[in-house]
Amino acid sequence: MRLESVGAFEGLNAYSITDAKAALAKRTVQRREKRILEMLPESTMTFQELTDWDLELKTVKKLKSYVRVKQALNNFNAVFDNMTIDEYVKLVDKSPQHLKAFVVVAFNTGMRVGELRLLKWSYVDRVNDYIRLPAEVTKEDRQKNIPINHHVKKALASLPRAIQHDFVFSHTKGNPLQAPEV
């Protein structure tokens, strides 16, 4: 059996079998990652181009939820579909104070305006980082579980809770947002 030095990997004994296995595993992962990185699309793709690329992958097409995922991506919130990050940042900066969190949550979750206006604190699961919308709130009349990222968590944490109602978004006077205000 030929001994191969694994000394090129920092912290490994050059002739240890366990260290040789660790080096082989590391090389295998590096080769696999390189192939994955070569398969990834360019970082300059728009959201729509990235969606189209993702939906064409064989592994995605095999999923049981493929049709639902495709429909959901095609119905993505049209307001933010072609918006760049710079445009989003400008929109947040120019928004009135009581709508800043509304814009952040809308952009990061893809929720519809009606769903956001009807969002209640009781629908927000801060432990598992989800917004759980009941069927009566959604346009599709189906329950939705929407994951929230750190931007949404920060935006929600910045909002005061009203005493008079359970709605997340309210006007500066404490009243829930109405359609013309959004």
Higher pLDDT, 85 or 37: 85
Higher pLDDT, 7 or 26: 26
Residues above pLDDT 70, as percent of the chain: 63
Tokens of 121: 């604190």
Residue 132 pLDDT > 90: yes
Q: What is the dihedral of CA 73, 138, 124, 47, to 10 degrees?
A: 20
**How confident is the model at residue 125, as a pLDDT?**
92
**How confident is the model at residue 124, as a pLDDT?**
94
Residue 35 pLDDT > 70: no
- Local structure of 34: helix, strand or coil: helix
DSSP state of 135: G
| DSSP H helices in 40-133 | 47-55, 58-61, 66-74, 85-94, 97-109, 113-117
Closest CA to 152 of 123, 120, 130: 130
Are the C-beta atoms of 143 and 134 separated by less than 8 Å?
Answer: yes
**How confident is the model at residue 29, as a pLDDT?**
64
How far is residue 126's CA from residue 149's CA, in Å, rounded to a whole number? 11
pLDDT tens-digit map of 52-107: 777 777 777 777 777 776 766 665 555 566 677 788 888 888 888 778 899 899 88
1 band by pLDDT with thresholds 50, 70 and 90? very low
- Local structure of 147: helix, strand or coil: strand
Provide the whole-model pTM.
0.56
